[in-house]
């Protein structure tokens, strides 16, 4: 059970015969809860280190100067992007925007990618097929695509390359 009372977080946990309450600030409670899990369930600690969890704050900070969000949607700032770069950065931007609550969907249409990137629709479609084959992108509906975990890692590299190129 989770309850927030006047700026304090209160969590009650039952795990087998263990029962414990955590009270305090969200930071204190989250640290105590994870410490509890590490003691009660040692495999959790190992599994926690093995699971890829994108750092949303770092991703959002890295996107500064490359992507902006508007009421009309996503805006790609660099104009000299390749089609592949535009695809990966658009999908990463939608992923981050969705996680930040700026977009309700975590996918984007091929038409939107073409519009945002200024690239030809046919070019975007052809390049997306390769990204799907490489396991970077997933087709989630007719003409709708979203970035996969491996794609997030790849998009981070693309983002670094684009930023390095712009600072020359």
pLDDT of 126-141, one tens digit each? 999 999 999 999 999 8
Burial (CB count <10 Å: 0-12, 13-18, 19+), residue 156: middle
Neighbours of 26 (CB within 10 A): 12
Q: What are the structural domain ranges in the chain?
A: 2-50, 56-166
Residue with the two structure tokens 């305090």? 24
Residues 44-67 have pLDDT tens digits of: 667 777 778 888 899 999 999 899
Q: Does domain 56-166 have CATH number 3.60.150.10?
A: no
Torsions phi, psi for 20 (to 5 deg): -150, 145
pTM of the full structure = 0.72
């Amino acid at each position: 059970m989770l309850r927030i009372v006047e700026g304090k977080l209160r969590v009650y946990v039952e795990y087998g015969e263990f029962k414990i309450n955590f009270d305090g600030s969200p930071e204190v409670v989250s640290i105590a809860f994870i410490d509890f899990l590490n003691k009660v369930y040692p495999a959790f600690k190992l599994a926690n280190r093995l699971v890829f969890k994108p750092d949303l704050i770092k991703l959002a900070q890295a996107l500064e100067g490359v992507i902006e969000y508007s009421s009309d949607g996503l805006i790609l700032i660099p104009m000299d992007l390749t089609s592949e770069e535009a695809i990966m950065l658009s999908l990463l931007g939608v992923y981050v925007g969705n996680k930040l609550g700026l977009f309700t969907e975590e996918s984007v249409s091929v038409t939107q990618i073409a519009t945002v990137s200024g690239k030809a629709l046919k070019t975007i479609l052809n390049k997306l097929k390769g990204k799907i084959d490489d396991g970077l992108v997933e087709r989630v509906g007719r003409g709708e695509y979203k970035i996969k975990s491996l794609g997030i890692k790849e998009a981070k590299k693309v983002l670094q390359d684009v930023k390095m190129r712009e600072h020359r």
